[in-house]
Amino acid sequence: MKQILLVDDHAMVRKGLKETLDEELGEIAFGEADNAQKALALAAEQAWDLVILDINMEGRSGLDLLTDLLATQPKLPVLILSMYPVAEFAVRALKQGAAGYLNKQSAPEELVNAVQTLLGGRRYISAELADRLAQDLLRDSTKPPHEQLSAREYQVMLMIASGKIQKEIAAELCLSTKTVSTYHTRILQKLGLKNDIEISRYALQHKLVT
């Protein structure tokens, strides 16, 4: 029996995933975690055939957790299932070692296909993601400034670009406003920008947000 660990801070999301996969695949045992600490504990307790992981969670982000999981279990397949579009995080997730990436708005059939692919020992690359990777290969080899950002800095940058203020970002990510302010300062420094208006303009120019 295959064992899948679901890591998402929303109980309803985990419930929906279990129902979809159980109905289509059957013979699967599920584990659940709503934060990084619990996920790491469960990963250390037993072997998993697959981890389905959200990016935007309370406390540490899913991309931070991805790094920790693969540090101890480099062959563990991890499917990132996020509300963020492919253009925003997919390539970054793959570079960090994820075995696949899906947007939460994807059809259930695509989720099932992705899980079957990963359980079969292969990576899952959707048509949208394949197109994105091809575009990246055709671009100039010089990396854009936002590639220097950490996963959390990148996440905060996107939230700023979408018009959210630091207090809102802190509440959504369960961070202190001081921590968000620190990320904000680093983002401005690494991108060579002066203010939030320039961050928004930068994100639009590089098609990081729509």
> pLDDT for 70-126, tens place per residue?
998 999 999 999 888 777 788 888 888 999 999 888 899 999 999 999 999 999 988
Half-sphere exposure of 149 (CA within 13 A, CB side): 28
- Total domains in the chain come to 2
Query: Average pLDDT of the chain?
Result: 90
**One domain for residues 12 and 116:** yes
What is the value of pTM for the model shown? 0.70
Closest of 171, 21, 144 to residue 81, by C-alpha: 21
In whole angstroms, how far apart are CA 137 and each of 131, 151, 161?
Answer: 10, 21, 25
**One domain for residues 34 and 102:** yes
**One domain for residues 130 and 150:** no
Residue 139 has pLDDT above 70, yes or no: no
- Whether 210 is covered by a domain: the verdict is no
Q: C-alpha 167: how far from its chain's center?
A: 22
Residue 59 has pLDDT above 80, yes or no: no
- Whether 97 is covered by a domain: the verdict is yes
**One domain for residues 68 and 96:** yes
Q: In the β-sheet with 50-53, what is the strand arrangement from edge to edge?
A: 28-33, 2-7, 50-53, 78-82, 100-103
Q: Which domain holds residue 47?
A: 2-137
Q: What per-residue confidence (pLDDT) applies to 56?
A: 84
Residue 138 has pLDDT above 80, yes or no: no
**What is the per-residue pLDDT across 141-185, written as a single tens digit (0 to 9) for each?**
567 889 889 889 999 999 999 999 999 999 989 899 999 999 999
**One domain for residues 8 and 104:** yes
Output the domain CATH number for residue 164. Answer: 1.10.10.10
CA distance 75 to 81: 19
